[in-house]
């Protein structure tokens, strides 16, 4: 079936806005790798005499919720309610995450402390709106069986209260094959949709979920395709649909927008609404949070994807990890702000 192009028509705006207003009635559960995004901001005026590297004169620093915590932050910023399930270390960074989550009224009972691993932190040095270097503090091995069982027990107790389950997989140890098998079983038993922001090396874990949201590189990698043509992207989307038995695959494509593949054979291209793309950091978190809220608020998959596309158009225009507020999204849908 030939792909169609989904453009945002004026008569669709108010329908999408009405879905946004229903976000406050939605409660999601986010399960995945919780992390802290640390930014060091500055400028470069010279090269180091010690080595051929830039010298960054630091002007300020900022810290933001990252990974699954950023997904949860996007949910509450958009007006929804959310419980977060994951792992932090017994350290200052973990404490900072916990305090920020509580300030935002994000449910933290499913956030477990593992004294044997550090809280994941990514530090990015940004000079003149360009990332100079990133260094990571993390352990990537799978969490212990005790932690896995504790996460699953919490999810099992709470899943009746939620409208949707979002898996944010950054391959930092929380999402394992065993956990995903149990999550999918619970979700199916309670008729709760499960959406996944995937990692290529874990693609076999997601068989039976409703929706996955890979970026272009992840889609090609998961489908095992080396070529990067438009035809190959179409093949990748269809292959992932068949391999995982999904209801839909939404491939995020940066400046080229999104490609939506549905199990009914329909393929839709969604052009980007962003005028400028400064930083895609965290855009995938925004996409899956908005998509899940839209679907759980009653939107059809195409409308939910349009909502996610507009939300992504807002965050990619901001350097650093960012979230979208419901009022911003509503103004963008009505054409009152320029993205």
Task: Residue 90: name the closest of 68, 111, 64, 63 by CA.
Answer: 111
- Please provide the average confidence, as pLDDT, over all residues in the chain: 91
Statement: residue 34 has pLDDT above 60: yes
What CATH number corresponds to the domain at position 108?
A: 3.40.1190.20
Residue 49 lies in a domain: no
Confidence grade of residue 273 (pLDDT, cut at 50, 70, 90): confident
Q: CA angle at residue 326 from 305 to 13, to 5 degrees?
A: 55
Residue 185 lies in a domain: yes
Q: Which residues are catalytic?
A: 285
User: For the stretch 258-279, what's the b/e string if a residue is b when 16 or more beta carbons lie within 10 angstroms of its beta carbon?
Assistant: bbbbbeeeebbbbebbbeeeeb
Query: How long, in residues, is the chain?
Result: 339
Q: In the prediction, which pLDDT does 9 show? A: 61
Confidence grade of residue 339 (pLDDT, cut at 50, 70, 90): very low
Confidence grade of residue 272 (pLDDT, cut at 50, 70, 90): confident
Instruction: Give the predicted TM-score (pTM) of the model.
Output: 0.91
Higher-pLDDT residue of 5, 67: 67
Q: What are the tens digits of pLDDT across the range 131-190?
A: 889 999 999 999 999 999 999 999 999 999 999 999 999 999 999 999 999 999 999 999
Residue 159 lies in a domain: yes
**Number of Cβ atoms within 10 Å of the Cβ of 216:** 17
Q: What is the mean pLDDT of residues 224-245?
A: 91
- What are phi and psi for residue 29, nearest 5 degrees? -120, 125
Domain that holds residue 104: 4-36+66-119+139-333
Q: In the prediction, which pLDDT does 101 show? A: 97
Residue 261 lies in a domain: yes
Residue 45 lies in a domain: no
Gap between the Cα atoms of 139 and 123, Å rounded: 15
Residue 206 lies in a domain: yes
Q: What are the tens digits of pLDDT across the range 80-113?
A: 999 999 999 999 999 999 999 999 999 999 999 9
Q: How many folded domains does the chain comprise?
A: 1
Q: In the prediction, which pLDDT does 138 show? A: 92
Q: What is the mean pLDDT of residues 306-321?
A: 82
Q: What are the tens digits of pLDDT across the range 35-47?
A: 999 999 999 989 9
Residue 100 lies in a domain: yes
Residue 172 lies in a domain: yes
Higher-pLDDT residue of 47, 11: 47
Statement: residue 295 has pLDDT above 70: yes
């Amino acid at each position: 079936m030939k792909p169609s192009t989904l453009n945002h028509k004026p008569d669709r705006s108010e329908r999408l806005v009405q879905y946004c207003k229903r976000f406050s009635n939605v409660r999601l559960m986010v399960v995945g790798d919780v992390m802290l995004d640390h930014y060091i901001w500055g400028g470069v005026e010279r090269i180091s005499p010690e080595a051929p590297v830039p010298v960054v004169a630091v002007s300020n620093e900022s810290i933001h919720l990252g990974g699954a915590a950023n997904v949860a932050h996007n949910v509450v910023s958009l007006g929804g309610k959310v419980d977060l399930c994951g792992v932090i270390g017994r350290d200052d960074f973990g404490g900072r995450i916990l305090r920020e989550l509580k300030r935002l009224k994000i449910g933290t009972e499913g956030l477990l402390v593992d004294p044997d691993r550090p809280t994941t932190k990514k530090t990015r040095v940004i000079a003149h709106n360009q990332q100079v270097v990133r260094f990571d503090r993390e352990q990537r091995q799978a969490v212990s069986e005790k932690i896995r069982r504790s996460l699953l027990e919490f999810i099992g107790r709470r899943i009746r209260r939620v409208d949707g389950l979002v898996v944010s997989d950054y391959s930092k140890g929380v999402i394992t094959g065993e956990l995903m098998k149990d999550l999918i079983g619970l979700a199916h038993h309670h008729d709760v949709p499960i959406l996944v922001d995937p990692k290529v090396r874990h693609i076999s874990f997601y068989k039976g979920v409703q929706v996955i949201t890979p970026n272009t590189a992840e889609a090609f990698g998961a489908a095992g395709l080396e070529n990067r043509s438009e035809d190959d992207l179409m093949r990748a989307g269809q292959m992932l649909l068949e391999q995982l038995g999904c209801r839909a695959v939404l491939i995020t494509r940066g400046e080229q927008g999104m490609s939506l593949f549905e199990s009914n054979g329909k393929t839709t291209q969604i052009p980007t609404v962003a005028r400028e793309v400064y930083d895609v950091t965290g855009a995938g978190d925004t996409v899956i949070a908005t998509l899940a809220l839209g679907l759980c608020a009653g939107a059809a998959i195409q409308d939910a994807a349009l909502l996610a596309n507009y939300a992504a158009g807002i965050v990619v225009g901001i350097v650093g990890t960012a979230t979208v507020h419901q009022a911003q999204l509503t103004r963008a849908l009505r054409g009152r702000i320029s993205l």
